């Protein structure tokens, strides 16, 4: 067996209603003063108020930063860091979707002042230390609560990542009840995003692809493959919501250690240029990247297929891998998501530029099980169009 490393959050707390424990967890993990990082949309749901009340009841003074936006730019990171410093926060709580959790990670890392954002872009460049950190996801998709990654929009279109074990939280608190109110479209897009994490982690060509990540990916797909349509179409189904949130977290653990590849590389330019949410961007290119990969590397997809969709066990080999690609394509349609780039008001003339930009995602493309060049990327975009 080849050598590998596996890192994840120090502590996981999962259970319906577990948000009520945030006060006690913060008191023991952070202390008496914390910054809560979230977004304005979550404020309207009442979830933020519940968290603040639980913190106050435990004697924890919370400063609220609710300035997170989708695809957060550097200015939002700077504002969160300033809020942490001005309030004298002893730690940070991230509450919300992937953007809020990413901002919380970077606020905790940069608030001590030992490094700047510009210094830590890339893999393994953050030195720490960071403030104590608790992450509470409210979507079942990004897995950000257990990943050492934060994505930042650095210009009008470009995104860059900070990748470091220092971004892993002290506690990931997962309460599936927080996801019950998600609209069907968001449930679908974030759910398929989580499935992409598991699929790409399992098939990754990374030298750190390892037995733990593969087993986590398999279990994630077992949970989510059986639950996603129920969660989308029957949003209050507690069992489906719990399976999606746990599956998303397991997929996050998997790809945090066995990194994702071409699906994400081709999805990022769609978000950067056309402001398509990340989960939907992944869903739009996913089946076409899988079909491209299956030409030379069908084995991982044939292995995954019966875990996500048990009826596909009747197929074998290349036929099973092909059936898996078809089922994934149909899943987005069954969830009510757009399935063509043309439906997103993307002009066909933009495809060559998207392909050229996708080639900049070298950190991800190196993990793809089939080598991919700019002409291949363009062909995938055209197949998705």
pLDDT single digits (tens) 137-157: 999 999 999 999 999 988 767
Q: Is residue 6 part of a domain?
A: no
List of E strands, the chain: 11-14, 33-37, 61-65, 91-96, 122-123, 133-137, 149-153, 159-163, 171-174
Q: Are residues 349 and 260 in the same domain?
A: yes
- Domain shared by 218 and 240, yes or no: yes
Same domain, 221 and 115: no
What residue numbers bound the domain in which 189 lies? 185-384
> Which pLDDT score is estimated for 155?
77
DSSP one-letter code for 2: -
Number of domains the chain is built from? 2
pLDDT tens for residues 233-285?
Answer: 999 999 999 999 999 999 999 999 999 999 999 999 998 889 899 999 999 99
Q: Of the candidates 146, 179, 212, which is a domain's last residue?
A: 179
Lowest mean pLDDT: which of 69-73, 94-98, 365-369, 376-380? Answer: 69-73
**For the chain, what is the mean pLDDT?**
96
> Is 221 part of a structural domain of the chain?
yes
Q: Compute CA 255 distance to the chain's CA centroid, rounded to the nearest angstrom.
A: 9
> What pLDDT digit, counting tens, does each position of 180-189 carry?
999 999 999 9
Q: What is the C-alpha separation between 195 and 190, in angstroms, rounded?
A: 9
Domain assignment present for residue 267? The answer is yes
Which residues neighbour 110 within 8 Å (Cβ) at sequence distance 6 or greater?
Answer: 77, 81, 116, 117
Residues 104 and 189 in one domain: no
pLDDT at 120: 97
Residues 148 and 269 in one domain: no
Whether 81 and 228 share a structural domain: no
Helix segments in 204-277, DSSP class H = 211-233, 238-257, 262-274
Task: List the structure tokens of 65.
Answer: 């930063």
Q: Does residue 213 lie in a domain region?
A: yes
CATH number at residue 81: 3.40.50.1970
- Residue 35 — φ and ψ, nearest 5°? -100, 130
Same domain assignment for residues 259 and 311: yes
Cα 223–Cα 296–Cα 217 angle in degrees, nearest 5: 20
Please count the other Cβ atoms lying within 10 Å of the Cβ belonging to residue 176.
23
Going from the C-alpha of 107 to that of each of 69, 102, 123, 173, 344, the distances in angstroms are 15, 9, 18, 18, 33
Query: How many CB atoms are closer than 10 A to CB 317?
Result: 10
> Average pLDDT in the 127-136 region?
96
Q: Are residue 143 and residue 197 in the same domain, yes or no?
A: no
Q: What percent of the chain has pLDDT over 90?
A: 94
What is the reported pTM?
0.95
Last residue of a domain, one of 179, 198, 221: 179
SS3 167: helix
Residue 265 belongs to a domain: yes
Amino acid 54: pLDDT: 98
Q: Which of 179, 198, 229 is the last residue of a domain?
A: 179
In this structure, what CATH number is given to the domain that contains residue 312?
1.20.1090.10
User: DSSP 3-state assignment of 64?
Assistant: strand
């Amino acid at each position: 067996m080849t050598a590998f490393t596996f890192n994840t959050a120090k502590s996981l707390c999962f259970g319906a209603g577990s948000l009520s424990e945030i006060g006690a967890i913060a008191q023991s993990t952070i202390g008496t003063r914390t910054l809560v990082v979230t977004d304005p949309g979550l404020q309207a749901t009442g979830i933020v108020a519940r968290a603040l009340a639980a913190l106050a009841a435990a004697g924890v003074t919370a400063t609220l930063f609710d300035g997170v936006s989708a695809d957060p730019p550097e200015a939002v990171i700077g504002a969160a860091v300033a809020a942490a410093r001005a309030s004298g926060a002893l730690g940070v709580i991230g509450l919300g979707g992937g953007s809020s959790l990413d901002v919380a990670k970077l606020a905790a890392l940069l608030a001590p002042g030992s490094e700047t954002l510009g210094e830590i872009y890339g893999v393994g460049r953050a030195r720490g230390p960071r403030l104590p950190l608790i992450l509470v996801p409210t979507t079942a998709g990004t897995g950000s609560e257990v990943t050492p990654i934060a994505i930042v929009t650095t210009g009008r279109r470009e995104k860059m990542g900070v990748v470091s074990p220092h971004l892993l939280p002290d506690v990931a608190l997962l309460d599936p009840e927080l996801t019950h109110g998600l609209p069907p479209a968001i449930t679908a897009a974030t759910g398929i995003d989580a499935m992409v994490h598991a699929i790409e982690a399992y098939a990754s060509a990374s030298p750190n692809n390892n037995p733990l990540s593969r087993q986590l990916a398999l279990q994630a797909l077992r949970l989510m493959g059986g639950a996603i349509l129920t969660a989308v179409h029957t949003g209050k189904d507690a069992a489906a919501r719990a399976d999606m949130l746990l599956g998303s977290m397991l997929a996050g653990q998997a790809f945090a250690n066995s990194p994702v590849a071409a699906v994400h590389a081709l999805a990022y330019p769609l978000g950067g240029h056309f402001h398509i949410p990340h989960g939907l961007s992944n869903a739009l290119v996913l089946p076409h990247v899988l079909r491209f990969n299956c030409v030379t590397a069908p084995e991982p997809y044939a292995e995954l297929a019966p875990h996500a969709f048990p009826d596909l066990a009747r197929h074998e080999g290349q036929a099973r891998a092909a059936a898996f690609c078809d089922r994934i394509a149909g899943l987005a349609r069954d969830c009510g998501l757009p399935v063509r780039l043309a439906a997103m008001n993307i002009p066909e003339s933009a495809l060559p530029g998207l392909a050229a930009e996708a080639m900049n995602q070298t950190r991800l493309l190196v993990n793809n099980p089939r080598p991919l060049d700019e002409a291949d990327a363009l062909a995938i975009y055209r197949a998705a169009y």
